Amino acid sequence: MPNRGNIGFRPVEKPDLPLLHDWLSKPHVAKWWDPAEKAIRSIERHIGDDAVTPLMVCLDESAFAYMQLCELDVDRNEDNVPIECPVGTIGLDQFIGPEDKVGIGLGPRFLKLITTKLFCEGTPAVLVDPDPSNLFAIRAYEKAGFNRLRQVDKKNGPTLFMVRTSQENPQ
């Protein structure tokens, strides 16, 4: 099976940026993310940053996806954090780069792994906010144990808040 193997995570490093740029330029990623140049500038700013953790997701040590984690400020009434989320909630964004790695079960696998790791570290909940028309991503999040909260209209368009909590998904 093409989705077999060990999945791991490592910090993004500057030498990863050309590969990430290539992935961000692919139609299946570009449709849902900022333009490649803008996204790369943001990712590069977060290398070594405490606020956002950019990670490469690897299958048998070969990178196939990007993920970023960010502790959300649930005390502020911002449009990117649902009120139901407890203090310590982590926001997660991700994409799979190579087209041949899409649709074979890797997304739900690494999402389950990272959320379980975060729960073991004491994170109470993990939040994602896909575009409501991104049915492929929504299905992957649901397979990974995320539940729909509600759809909202944010500054940059509609979003579907989905959450996975440590109470709903014990180890």
pTM: 0.88
CATH class of the domain whose range is 7-165:
alpha beta
Domain ranges of the chain: 7-165
Is the per-residue pLDDT at 120 higher than 80?
yes
Residue 29 CA neighbour count, 13 Å, CB half: 26
Residues 25-83 pLDDT 10s: 999 999 999 999 999 999 999 998 888 999 999 999 899 999 999 988 755 555 556 66
